[in-house]
Amino acid sequence: MIEGILFDLDGVLVSTDELHYLAWKQLADRLGIPFSREQGDRCRGVSRMDSLEIVPEQAGRPYSQAEKEAFAQEKNQAYRAMLSNLSPADVPGEVVPTLKQLRQRGYRLALASGSKNAGLILERTGLGAWLDAVADGTCIRRSKPDPEIFLTAARLLGLPPSRCAAMDDAVAGIQAGRAAGMLTIAIGDSAVHRAGAYNLTRFDQLLELFPGPGEEGAL
Ligand code: BG6
Ligand code: MG
């Protein structure tokens, strides 16, 4: 029986996944390195530094740790500049009504994002108001596919992993949720890969999976 739903942020609650891609692409273009959408998809859910194992794959030479750290900083600056225009209008229309309905049905909701920019995004979009707990990139040491972020979010909600569902657009995120012992729900890229126990095409399909008390759901 599921009591808590843990959400990834970028690409699940808001379309900032595209801004991550564009910021990496900007860096790759400046370095003259090809960077494909497929590489961008593999960066989903992966930390900023770990993404630098993927972004320069086609560079033809390895980069030093110091160079990678400078690249991470450069990308983050470009990304944060893109976030400066973010507002509640950037949250897809079905997201807030769905979160509201799930809370009314008694589910506890938490963020489980590997991003260190999550606080800024929650503030700018107003999404923080719908969450009972927030676990983000500032609270963990190991990024997805490690289960740490989902386990941390469950702990903040005071729920055992077996009572939580993990929703993520990243294949690495679904692997993390599964490793945490949670029911996994894929959307976007991870759903295209059929990585989740449930693979959704729309965010509000959560309302079919998680019924109100006394109602029958699809689970
Ligand atoms: C994840 C994104 O949510 O956060 C990744 O899917 C990103 O692309 C990771 O690398 C870390 O984000 P940030 O904002 O700390 O660089
Ligand atoms: Mg994501």
Nearest CA owner, ligand 1 atom 14? 115
Rg (CA), the chain: 17
DSSP E strands in 57-104: the ranges are none
| 169 is an active site residue | no
Catalytic residue, chosen from 10, 41, 136, 189, is 10
Domains of the chain: 4-15+91-209 (3.40.50.1000), 17-83 (1.10.150.240)
Ligand 1 centroid distance, CA of 136 (Å): 10
pLDDT number for residue 212: 86
pLDDT number for residue 45: 95
pLDDT number for residue 17: 96
Name the closest ligand to CA 167.
2
150: Cβ contacts below 8 Å, ≥ 6 apart: 6, 112, 135, 161, 164, 166, 176, 177, 180, 182
137 within ligand 1 shell (Cβ under 6 A): yes
Alpha-carbon dihedral sign for residues 33, 38, 39, 43? positive
CA atoms in the 13 A half-sphere facing the CB of 16? 30
CA 50 → CA 11, 73, 166, 179, distances in Å? 18, 13, 22, 19
> What pTM was computed for the model?
0.96
76 within ligand 1 shell (Cβ under 6 A): yes
What is the mean pLDDT for each group of 10 consecutive residues in the chain (219 residues)? 97 97 98 97 96 96 96 98 95 98 98 98 97 96 96 98 98 98 98 98 97 77
Q: Report how many helices (DSSP H) and strands (DSSP E) the chain contains, helices first.
A: 10, 6
Catalytic residue, chosen from 8, 136, 168, 169, is 8
| Angle of the 65-83 helix axis to the 16-31 helix axis, nearest 10 | 130
| 41 is an active site residue | no
Query: Buried (b) or exposed (e) across 60-89, using 16+ Cβ within 10 A?
Result: eeeeeeeebeebbeebeebbeebbeebeee
Q: What angle do CA 25, 41, 35 make, to 5 degrees?
A: 30
pLDDT number for residue 218: 66
